[in-house]
Amino acid sequence: MWILGIDTSCDDTGVGLVKDGEVAVNLVASQVALHQAFGGVVPELASREHLKVIRPLAETALAEAGIGPKDLSLVAATRGPGLIGALLVGYTFAKGLAWALRKPFYAIHHLEAHIAAAWPPGLNPPFLALVASGGHTHLFAVEALGRYRLLGATRDDAAGEAFDKVARLLGLGFPGGPEIERLAQEAREKVPFPVPLKDQKGYEFSFSGLKTKAVQLVEAGHPAPALARGFQEAAVEHLAQVVIRAAQDTGHRVLLVAGGVAANRALQARFQEAGLTVYFPPRGLSQDNGAMVALAAWRRYQGGFPPSPLSLGATAYWPLEEA
């Protein structure tokens, strides 16, 4: 059974194909170069680029799998949250395709897709899921597919956003996460950063203090590698401390770490030693992509969830608890 999944929630056009629950093709057309000159994602430019790329990318994905549109059993797309203009391109394309093929359509929540990317086939809930990306830092208790309880989120910047901002401060490229990780590996020493919200009772995250600290340390003339390493260690330690405490308090022993930041190897190493059973997305599935959307649709289909009506619109704002 073939499922086509599409994600155009932000600045990457993602088209993926999943066959019987396994990723067969996963193509991502990056817009990094397009937005570079502006120092951030320009929503209108993102929408236009999605529009240019979506159809050829979908055709290439089908060709790589050696199938045609009629071989698809299901079509799925990210409905939200994200940039509304960007979302609309992939979402409307997918709905149109499903309608033309007379095949069921699944509207997928972007964070459920990130979680689906890290969710190994045989694992049953309950478990904890940390989604750390450029737009989100959310910790959920996953009671079942479609039953999510938010335990905590960031008060300010998302984890990936902090990596991006500190990278920019250090004169590194975008996205900043991989750049910081590479520079931190080269560092022989580190400038220590304080771990945020150490004494809180809840499960909130905060990254703006680390960013401010980085500004001060750059002005004080500290070398970039030592700064990158100090920042990365504090950011990772903060994520780990909150999640480990939540696991202790709630009795969960299993954790999924998803989203772009989950690709960070220092983070993976820190969570591996946390005394929990931890799962990360396979390579290429942690950042935004279409295959994770198809994986979420596969889980919804397997779970007996009804397809979505084609009258359902995309939405920029959509809490996961309501998905």
Helix (H, G, I), strand (E, B) or coil at 223: coil
Q: Which does 157 bind (CB under 5 to 8 A by kind): ligand KG4, Zn ion, none?
A: none
Residue 193 contacts which entry, ligand KG4, Zn ion, none (Cβ below 5-8 A, type-dependent): none
With binding defined as CB under 6 A, does residue 288 bind ligand KG4? yes
Q: Which is nearer to ligand KG4, 80 or 259 (CB)?
A: 259
Residues 6+ apart with CB under 8 A from 171: 224
Residue of 253, 254, 299, 316 lying closest to 112 (CA atoms) = 299
CB count in 10 Å sphere of residue 38: 9
Residues 274-293 that bind Zn ion (CB under 5 A): 288
How far apart, in Å, are the Cα atoms of 240 and each of 63, 144, 247?
42, 23, 10
Q: Candidates 46-54, 129-137, 157-165, 200-208 — which segment interacts with Zn ion by CB under 5 A?
A: 129-137
Nearer to ligand KG4, 178 or 307 (CB): 178
Q: How far is it, in rounded angstroms, from Cα 201 to Cα 184?
A: 31
* Edge-to-edge order in the sheet of strand 147-153: 147-153, 137-144, 127-132, 254-258, 277-279
Least Å distance, CB 104 to ligand KG4, is 26
Residue with the closest Cβ to ligand KG4?
177
196 binds, among ligand KG4, Zn ion, none (CB under 5 to 8 A by kind): none
| CA pair distance 311, 314, nearest whole angstrom | 10
Name residues contacting ligand KG4, limited to 9-38 (CB under 6 A): 10
Contacts with ligand KG4, residue ranges (CB under 6 A)? 10, 133-135, 160-161, 163-164, 175-178, 181, 259-261, 263-264, 287-288
Contacts with Zn ion, residue ranges (CB under 5 A)? 133, 288
